[in-house]
Structure 1
Amino acid sequence: MLLKRFADAKPYEAPNHRGVVGLRLQGFEEGGPKNQWVGFSQFLPGGGAGPDATPFEKVYVVLEGEMTVIIDGQESVLKAMDSCTIPPGEVREIVNRTNGVCKMIVVIPYPPGVKP
């Protein structure tokens, strides 16, 4: 078992993101997960990501606040404990349209060719 405390989580920069602080909870370390990594994202009001797509799927779980997910012009609002899977290659945009911070867990496979 690899135990990591929240106080030890390291920040990371995510491409094409704005108004967000991301912390890596698990992944990219010896003894950690072999297939995916887990991030904790805190999106400020107006913060978001995209539009863009990745060659791998990702899972979003909203812990607190709200996040609007836009795919093919269709908007869905995720609230606390709602989740979604974004398939590989699907263009998505996410936007925090509220005045509060949106806190999310993000689960993403390692990029192709990356070994933890």
Structure 2
Amino acid sequence: MHLKRFKDAQPYEAPNHFGCHGLRLQGFEEGGPTNQWIGLSQFLPGGGAGPDSTPFEKVYVVLDGEMTVIVDGVETTLGPMDSCTIAPGEVRKIENRSNHTCKMLVVIPYPLES
């Protein structure tokens, strides 16, 4: 078992994100997961990301607050414990349109090695 305490989570900057503070909960460390990493994204009101895409899928799980996910012009608002999978190459934009901080788990495979 690889244990990592919340107090030991390190911040990271996600590309094309704004009004967001990310903490790496698992991944990119000795003894950690070998196929994906887990981040906790905390979006302030008005915060978000995109529009952009990645060559790999990612999963969002909203823990607290709400997040609007926009794909192909369709807007879907996720609330606590709602989740979605963004497919590889799928262009998405996310926006916290509420006045509360949105806390969201993000599960992402490691980047492709070139």
TM-score, structure 2 normalization: 0.99
Q: Which runs of 4+ in 1 moved over 2 A?
A: none
Secondary structure of residue in 2 paired with 1:7:
helix
2:17 is matched by which residue type in structure 1? H
Q: Does 1:63 align with 2:63?
A: yes
Q: 1:4 deviation in Å?
A: 0.3
Give 2:51's aligned residue: 51
Aligned length: 114
Query: How do residues 28-107 of structure 1 correspond to structure 2 at under 5 angstroms?
Result: 28-107=28-107
Q: 1:30 deviation in Å?
A: 0.6
Secondary structure of residue in 1 paired with 2:15:
coil
Structure 1 CA distance, aligned partners of 2:41 and 2:7? 15
Structure 1 CA distance, aligned partners of 2:14 and 2:40? 12
2:90 is matched by which residue type in structure 1? E
Secondary structure of residue in 1 paired with 2:29:
coil
2:67 is matched by which residue type in structure 1? M
Structure 1 CA distance, aligned partners of 2:54 and 2:100? 27
Q: 1:56 deviation in Å?
A: 0.3
TM-score, structure 1 normalization: 0.97
Structure 2 CA distance, aligned partners of 1:72 and 1:105? 23
Secondary structure of residue in 1 paired with 2:77:
strand
The gaps in structure 2 that reach 5 residues or longer are none
Structure 1 CA distance, aligned partners of 2:29 and 2:100? 32
